[in-house]
Amino acid sequence: MTIKVAVAGATGYAGGEILRLLLGHPQYLSGELQIGSLTGNSNAGQRVADIMPHLPQLADRVIEETSTEVLSGHDVVFLGLPHGFSAEIGAALDDDTLVIDCAADFRLKDAADWEKYYGSKHAGSWPYGIPEMPGHREELQGARRVAVPGCFPTGATLALIPAVEAGIIEADVAIVSITGVSGAGKKAAVPLLGSETMGSLKAYNTAGKHRHTPEIAQSLREVTDKDVNVSFTPVLAPLPRGILTTVTAPLVQGVTADVARKVYETFYADEPFVYVLPEGAQPQTQNVVGSNMCQVQVEVDAQAGKVLMTSAIDNLTKGTGGAAVQCMNIALGFEETAGLPRAAVAP
């Protein structure tokens, strides 16, 4: 049986990354997985060669309008659409179709959080696609609806969740994430022009205003019964790809650096896409570019009474497209690592 896959929003950065990974997927190379419809309203009628020349295998394919009719009949549908557009399509597709949403529409469980941050009616929640979180890999097995996490929540959650679950920190966390410009998507916008971003750093959506704040808190609350307080500050940097996240939280009395390190090494011992760096090494975005890896480091600042947790991911791979393919692999029973690079591009 051949599995037919469609990508809605194929010409955006998320859609393009999903396609890049699918083209190297062993099931695609063996003929068991076929790439079907590629849609994108603003580019409908154009050839892939004219929009995404980095995907030569699909050069002659033509982008179609995004509609339920075009997407129906596929076994897997990836939705790389703007927030608020996935709910209608997800509801209209057959229940047997695996729908993997890269937007925020189904990430939040709390309707009040959704309405506060997104300003529209809550569509519900789907299984949440961070397999490394306790119990989530099991939820994703055989699932037919999946919500891919935001890129910031992926980096922050993987940096934090071992410490929160083990209770080695107070869950009063300050997160700063430095991100490349591709995280804002492919749309034209003056603040994202090269002349506006090169040689400059800028914090934005500060003081609790960023939409990923409740998503991070939601993930942490899954592994603790204590109050969770999240302060999240994103910073825009002149990079195409990558997110470096630093998190500080109060140290629980009696916890040593050796204890903290053991917690992280044990938690991630069997995770193929999380690498706890050797003591003294620091995560760097250049070491994860193009890979589905998350590099993590944990340190204890005894003088300040804090734990410092740091992570680096490629926002388009582990932060979006790679996560989507990883979830597809789990849901369909493929090898979880299939088609997902662990080695980064260097230099």
Q: Which residues are catalytic?
A: 151
C-alpha 324/C-alpha 290 separation (Å) is: 14
Would you state the structure tokens that stand for residue 56, as one six-digit string? Answer: 């030569």
Report how far residue 154's alpha carbon sits from residue 125's, in angstroms, rounded to the nearest whole number. Answer: 17
Residue 120's Cβ-count burial label (10 Å; 0-12, 13-18, 19+) is: exposed
CA 208-155-204 angle, 5° bins: 35
d(CA 77, CA 201): 36
CA–CA separation, 125 and 325 (whole Å):
19
- For Cα atoms 90, 5, 14, give the angle at the middle one, nearest 5 degrees: 70
CA–CA distance, 37 with 6 (Å, rounded to integer)? 5
